[in-house]
Chain A
Amino acid sequence: MRIQVKELTKTFEAMDGIVRALKGLSFEVKPGEFYTLLGPSGCGKSTTLRCVAGLERPDSGEISIGDQVVASANAFAPPNERPIGMVFQSYAIWPHMTVFKNVAFPLKQGKTGLSKAEMKERVMEALALVKMDELVDRPAPYLSGGQQQRVALARALVSKPQVLLLDEPLSNLDAKLREELRVELKELVQRVGITTLYVTHDQVEALAMSDRIAVMLNGGILQEARPKELYLAPASKFVAQFIGQVNFFEGRIAEHSDEGWGLVETSQGQLRCPLPAGIPKGATVLVTVRPESLHTSQNGESGDGNVLEGRVEKTIFLGDFIDCQVLVGSQLVRAKLPPTSDVGPGERLFLRFSPQACVVLPIRTAD
């Protein structure tokens, strides 16, 4: 089922004044899609999700789930009247109930008309889905973090909702388990075929799981794109920085060809880059290059690529790569070098990167 959010605003009254948590947010999740809200702490992700769930009432704007308008200026459906399942960051497993009772709870609300046997069957089905059917009778306080997460998921899915809402469901787990469950969760959601709205501040998680990602900042969406597009073609400095590491070079456009290529004059030399349409010659721009696009080179010949010359400041061996910091002119440039490469501090070297690896961003006053 489709989720549509239009011009959502929400303000809170906090101790120290008014917090504008959401400032006219709009997006749409297609049926069956895995859609992620990604952003730094406090940007309004949870608030958005809670508005969709009906736990917060928006000040203005409209939310619809399927054909039902669940929140607007003159209508508001409380959470229990929305076709949703939700997993909370803390899981919110009720400690005074067993696993079975926790999962059965949604089936006992309203008139579901289920018999005891049917109910049991549905609960076991949901628990089997998350591989927890062995532990049905265990009291909730005796569950590990990962198990609680699974029970929470079973509870969210048991009533076969149209929409699944997940608020950082993996953030309370340790790194290893998080990686495992990431894959498992994605597969499960795909199997069930449910429309999913996912909230996280972890960019790796977002890239790995989502069909589409919306990057949020200060109560608004900065960019909305597929994971690959978001990584390779960030639309702003903030997005580029937030999704992985990045080097920036500030410069002016020196040459501008018709095929969309150009030269940017920076204090580290001229860089050949693809230019987006509509940027005039002489404009100041930011050239962004990811550290993994930089390679060492023996000589300073540029060929058809770009080359920077610098001195190695520091190297950190991290196993799968070497984080190498190179001083180019007055700027520190980071490169991810293969673990076998043999560079040390003080060494001079050349860094080569292809023009295709560059993304040019116009500098706006906002940045």
Chain B
Amino acid sequence: MESTAALALPRVRAFWDQARRNIVLILVTVFLLFLILVPLIRLLFSSFQRGHPAIPEGWTLQNYVAAYSLPIFYEAFGTTVLISAVGTFITLVIAVLFAWLIERTDMPLRNLAWTLILIPMAIPGVLFALGWALLLAPKTGVINVLLRGALDLVGIHLDQGPVSIYSLGGLIFLDGLRGVSTLFLMVVGAFRMMDPSLEEAARVAKANARGTFFQVTLPALLPAILTAGMYSFISSMDSFEAPLAVGLPAGIFVLATLIYFTARLQAPVDYGLSAVYGVTFMFILIFLLIGYRRAVRYSERFSTITGKGFRPRVISVGKWRYAALGLFVFYFLLTVAAPFAILLWASLLPSYRSPSFEALSFVSPANYLEAFSRPHLLSVASNTLILMAIAATATTVLALFVSWIVVRTKLRGRSLLDGMMFLPHSIPGIVIALAMIMAYLSPPLRYLGIYGSLWIVAMGLIVSYIAFGTRLMNSAIVQIQKELEEAAYVCGATSTRTLLAITLPLLFPAFAAGWIWVAVHSLRAFSIPLMLASKKNEVFSVLLWQYWSDGDVPMAATLGVMLVIVLIPLTLVMRRFIVKVSGQQD
């Protein structure tokens, strides 16, 4: 009795001391938890409610019964899984192949390829899909026109096709190409860091180059490759842009577009049903993500990858070097050059027509001049920049405070807090947006009046990027030796003074990196701004989509080209910063 009381007392006191000293941190935490949890809880409620979320008509299980008895739900689910599985397989093969070619072989121009392979990250998914829609539309698609011309020569006459992007195959194709850059970055480190003695041992044991690759290199890297594959599968499940641009016109639904359709397009919209889809989708992904985290931990434990600084031996692939380079050029053509070229072409014409010599006479920069003279467009551009600044600043500052608590204080429940910040990572953007709609459309939050404003979009983006922000800040703060801060205390500094004079300057690189990352992603963001769009808060990517759906292809292309031109340098700078902060070598 007595001893427990004696133990408990200093603990209680220490807790209060901490709380008093960290009042700012606690307020920040409460705010973030509010931002994340309230919409999700609201979404869960809505899935059990009849009627509009603002005027619920009582509790019901009807939404679930309805959702789970609709064939379209199972169809969409099946399609999502199919696209993700096949797409991931394609992505993985391409990414591993290029990681090996660029990192380990004597393929020509490897350093250039290292940079070029990152460029697709700068092209928003929706533009990539639109570019390919122009290339492979059944009637007007450039490639189809060319193919039909060729088939004509051998006596086959077609009115359209032979290929259509508006199909399941088209979706898989787009998904397969889409994530290569990210996966490349995930596996290339493993290729670089792999202990070369493993391969050397195989060579000494009389294995030839190919045998070594398939029997030693690949199996040794398998854990890294499989976790990258799982990651890719999860992000394909999330994917919204291509399914919207080329899936919906063909009547092919995935879960993300089904939610968008139910909550925003169909008439009348059905909030209850969309909430059920959202909740289901969220739980599927949380489940997948838990599996992913397990797998990562498992593969880290068995990793054959060492931290040694030397670079494994470069393997000579002889005359295949040029084939390898050709393959890379082809890949670059598919992911960047062709879609960008066709968008550029479309942006230079008054109305869309396929590239040809006679069309060349219509080419002019008129659309660009026109774009800058539309007042609406200027307000959208300023919306986009404001959104970018708010989201980037708020996310990094909030992440700094929370990570500080998680890493440096001894407050109770700090690891739970860390988990909470990671939670949104497993929630699809479309579900976050849906949850925000439900929360801010219904009382009491409705009286804040932020529904339909830029603020709600900013909040949605903060929620979806806070996981990355806190990961980055956690590792940055851990890297700052605790003793550097303690030395300041011992020198007579208060904790506020220490935070300002020591911690903040040391964290600056991480801060800048996080800021740019969020800025780039908010410029590109599509699903959340679209889902939450109103007349007042439109941003660039949403407006672009608006033009496209209204059939104004040249204007959509013009905006797209401008967006890509801003994004390419930003993306490359971002990569630099992240590499520097996370301590990887380039």
Q: What residues of chain A have their CB less than 8 Å away from a CB belonging to chain B? A: 53-55, 57, 59-60, 73, 78-80, 84-86, 88-90, 92, 94-96, 105-106, 109-110, 152, 155-156, 159, 165
Contacts and interface: CB of A to CB of B under 8 A. Distances in A.
B493 A92 contact: no
A110 B487 contact: no
A55 B489 contact: yes
A47 to B, nearest CB: 13
Contact of B491 (A54, A60, A106): A106
Contacts of A55: 486, 489-490
A262 B491 CA distance: 57
A105 B490 CA distance: 11
B502 to A, nearest CB: 6
B111 interface: no
Given A90-B483, A94-B484, A96-B505, A159 B489 contact: no
B506 interface: yes
Given A59-B10, A95-B506, A96-B506, A90 B481 contact: yes
Contacts, number: 67
A154 to B, nearest CB: 12
Contacts of A88: 483, 486-487
Main secondary structure of the interface of A (DSSP, over half): loop
Contacts of A59: 7, 10
B494 interface: yes
6 contacts: A79-B492, A85-B490, A86-B487, A88-B483, A88-B486, A88-B487
A94 B502 contact: yes
A149 to B, nearest CB: 13
B4 to A, nearest CB: 13
A78 B487 contact: no
B489 A94 contact: no
A203 B442 CA distance: 71
A80 B14 contact: no
Contacts of B497: 109
Given A90-B481, A92-B481, A95-B506, A80 B486 contact: no
Nearest to B9: A73
A80 B492 contact: yes
Interface in B472-496: 481, 483-484, 486-494
Nearest to A86: B490
Nearest to A73: B10
A78 B489 contact: yes
Contact of A159 (B6, B10, B484, B491): B491
Contacts of B488: 94, 105
Nearest to B504: A96
A53 B505 CA distance: 25
A85 B489 CA distance: 10
Nearest to B498: A80
A155 B481 CA distance: 18
Contact of B494 (A73, A80, A94, A152): A80
Contacts of A152: 487
Interface in B441-496: 481, 483-484, 486-494
10 smallest beta-carbon distances between A and B, as pairs: A109-B492, A92-B487, A106-B491, A92-B483, A79-B489, A86-B490, A88-B483, A80-B492, A96-B505, A92-B484
A73 B484 CA distance: 28
B405 to A, nearest CB: 17
Given A55-B486, A80-B492, A109-B491, 7 more contacts: A59-B10, A79-B486, A84-B490, A88-B483, A92-B484, A105-B493, A106-B491
A322 to B, nearest CB: 40
B483 A155 contact: no
Interface in B387-421: none
Contacts of B487: 86, 88, 92, 94, 152, 155
Nearest to A165: B490
A256 to B, nearest CB: 45
B481 to A, nearest CB: 6
A54 B495 CA distance: 13
A80 B493 contact: yes
> Which residue, of A54, A80, A159, has the highest number of chain B Cβ atoms within 10 A?
A80
B489 A155 contact: no
Nearest to A81: B492
Contacts of B505: 96
Interface in B7-24: 7, 10, 14
B489 A92 contact: no
A158 B501 CA distance: 19
> Which residue, of A57, A95, A109, has the highest number of chain B Cβ atoms within 10 A?
A109
B489 A54 contact: yes
B299 to A, nearest CB: 21
B10 to A, nearest CB: 6
Nearest to B488: A105
Contacts of B486: 53, 55, 79, 88, 92
Contacts of B489: 54-55, 78-80
B10 A53 contact: no
A155 B484 CA distance: 13
A21 to B, nearest CB: 15
A165 B486 CA distance: 13
Nearest to B480: A95
Contacts of A85: 490
B14 A106 contact: no
B14 to A, nearest CB: 7
A92 B494 CA distance: 17
Contacts of A159: 491-492
B491 A105 contact: yes
A155 B506 contact: no
> Which residue, of B6, B7, B487, B489, has the highest number of chain A Cβ atoms within 10 A?
B487
Contacts of B490: 53-55, 79-80, 84-86, 156, 165
Contacts of B502: 94
B87 to A, nearest CB: 40
A159 to B, nearest CB: 7
A162 B560 CA distance: 67
> Which residue, of B6, B10, B483, B494, has the highest number of chain A Cβ atoms within 10 A?
B483
Contacts of B494: 80, 109
A155 B14 CA distance: 30
B11 to A, nearest CB: 9
Contacts of A96: 505-506
A155 B486 CA distance: 13
